[in-house]
Amino acid sequence: MKLYKTNSIKVYNSLSRSKEIFKPINDGIIGMYVCGPTVYNNVHLGNVRTFMSFDMIYRYFLHLGYKVRYVRNITDAGHLTDDDSEDKIATKARIEQLEPMEIVQKYTVDFHTILDRFNFLPPSIEPTATGHIVEQIEAIKTILDNGLAYESNGSVYFDVLKYNEDEHYGILSGRNMEDVLTNTRQLDGQSEKKNPQDFALWKKASPEHIMRWPSPWGIGFPGWHLECTVMSTKYLGETLDIHGGGLDLKFPHHECEIAQAKACNHKNPVNYWMHTNMLTLNGQKMSKSTGNSILPGEILSGENSILNKPFSAGVTRFFCMQAHYRSILDFSSDALEASEKGFNKLMEAILSLKKITPVKESKLDIALWRQKCYTAMNDDFNTPILIAHLFEGVKFINLLVEGKITISEGDLEILTSTMNSFVFDVLGLQSHMSSDDTAGEDKLSGVVEMLIDMRKIARENKEWALSDKIRDELLTLGIQLKDGKEGTTFSVN
Ligand code: AMP
Ligand code: ZN
């Protein structure tokens, strides 16, 4: 039987501002859309934290036996700079003197490389904005036909006040029209809009703007919010189960997505809106534009003055998972060092599981412990509580290794599979002592033991030159032989 049948998950829905029992539209199948990166920059650790939270959620659904279609897009056009004057990718292309698509390629490769190093599962579909211009134009036509947008000087804007007559623009972020107005800056091109809170569905391209497509309203490019509406609808339907992103996307991006979708088909586009909290550095949101950021690659190399030393991808992932995805997490080298200690303890315990010999009688309630792990994850993916339970597992393992308690064969199997499932499959932690490495270490020990035996034979035959050669050459490889009363042992430096 699939595990999801016996595990009911509660998800915090940003729309209702409460935890709700998660019920997918189709039994056993989940559609999840997560806003992907705008590929004009290297991803920083804050971005990685958000995508990692959704990777963990995706992994847990898969672990429970759900069939998941996970769509995470790549924004390669339409995301305007903060002053709304230009496309972020086009701006970067000018600065780096590259084609916009070279910028897109460069930073998409960086994004994939980083996610791979941090052991992410790839999404089921990774669509791009530029690959869906036709769909975006069609959606704009529908919104115009429904009277909720207007054309102005070659651009098309969403009519927020008109929409607000029947719907609530601000339903997700909890804003009313006054809040929206006070938060809307007076920007260039504003005069084209009927009202300052209106947002662009299509922008007219100035002659020097390189990213441009023909449309019924002239040459231009789509507004940022629209791509997610059309791609989520195309691949997951008019109403989908989960839509996610960082908290900073709630307004205006996700608010606009809801308005666009309703303006197209009058349906609520998403059942569960999930938002991850921010990674901070020095108490401030990590952000590339303010320079308050650290790159994931710098953590692996240690090449950033914030860091006392380098840290592995597994430790970094563990550090992120020690906080709940809806809590703020502050980054520091000391915090990573503390995580490293915990991470090593966890990995060592998993390795020593092999040393435990089961007996008939168990002195542990392993089934209860396993259930506590699931209960933590079922409560809105509470990874810090899960990790606390995994450390209870570490305590059991250490007591078992020391022979202070006993475990039956069946319970040892449950202990081992539960530790492995949650640590590797769900949290996605990789170990530098992973099973592949362990196999490598086993082979190395076998070869060194064989050489020790051959050296022993050489010594018995008084072939001193050969015996010394074996010892010295192993030493140059960092393997030191030690002769003692019990025979010869070795250590790897
Ligand atoms: P962007 O490429 O700017 O659209 O960001 C990609 C994702 O990273 C979005 O879901 C953002 O909400 C998220 N994000 C940006 N900064 C942070 C941060 N400091 N901590 C966590 N997530 C972030
Ligand atoms: Zn989006």
Over 50: is that where the pLDDT of 404 sits? yes
pLDDT at 370: 98
Over 80: is that where the pLDDT of 185 sits? no
Ramachandran category for residue 365: left, alpha or beta (phi over 0 → left; psi -120 to 50 → alpha)? beta
The pLDDT tens digits of the residues spanning 391-403 come to 999 999 999 999 9
Residue 149 main-chain phi, psi, to 5 deg: -150, 165
Task: Decide whether any atom of ligand 1 lies within 6 Å of the 80 Cβ.
Answer: no
Q: For residue 316, which of 427, 420, 419 has the smallest C-alpha distance?
A: 427
340 Cβ partners below 8 Å, 6+ apart? 311, 315
Q: Which ligand is nearest to the CA of 38?
A: 1
Atom of ligand 1 nearest to the CA of 43: 2
Q: What is the three-state SS of 298-352?
A: HHHHCCCCCCCCCCCHHHHHHHHHCCCCCCCEEECHHHHHHHHHHHHHHHHHHHH
- The residue whose CA has the least distance to atom 12 of ligand 1 is 246
Task: Decide whether any atom of ligand 1 lies within 6 Å of the 286 Cβ.
Answer: yes
Domain 280-426, classified CATH 1.10.730, yes or no: yes
Over 70: is that where the pLDDT of 436 sits? no
The 3-state DSSP class for residue 19 equals strand
Over 90: is that where the pLDDT of 110 sits? yes
pLDDT band, residue 433 (cuts 50/70/90):
very low
Distance 424 CA to ligand 2 centre (A): 29
Q: Residue 222 and residue 235: Cα distance in Å, rounded?
A: 19
Q: What is the pLDDT averaged over residues 275-287?
A: 97
**The CATH fold of domain 3-276:** Rossmann fold (3.40.50)
Distance 50 CA to ligand 1 centre (A): 6
Picking from 84-93, 155-164, 458-467, which range would have the lowest pLDDT averaged per residue?
Answer: 84-93
Q: Where are the domains of the chain?
A: 3-276, 280-426, 435-492
pLDDT at 379: 98
Distance 53 CA to ligand 1 centre (A): 12
Amino acid at 334: D
Amino acid at 46: G
pLDDT at 334: 97
For the CA atoms of the chain, what is the radius of gyration?
28
The pLDDT tens digits of the residues spanning 350-372 come to 999 999 999 988 888 999 999 99
Q: What is the pLDDT averaged over residues 262-289?
A: 96
pLDDT at 435: 42
pLDDT at 283: 94
pLDDT band, residue 190 (cuts 50/70/90):
low
pLDDT at 211: 86
DSSP code, position 481: E
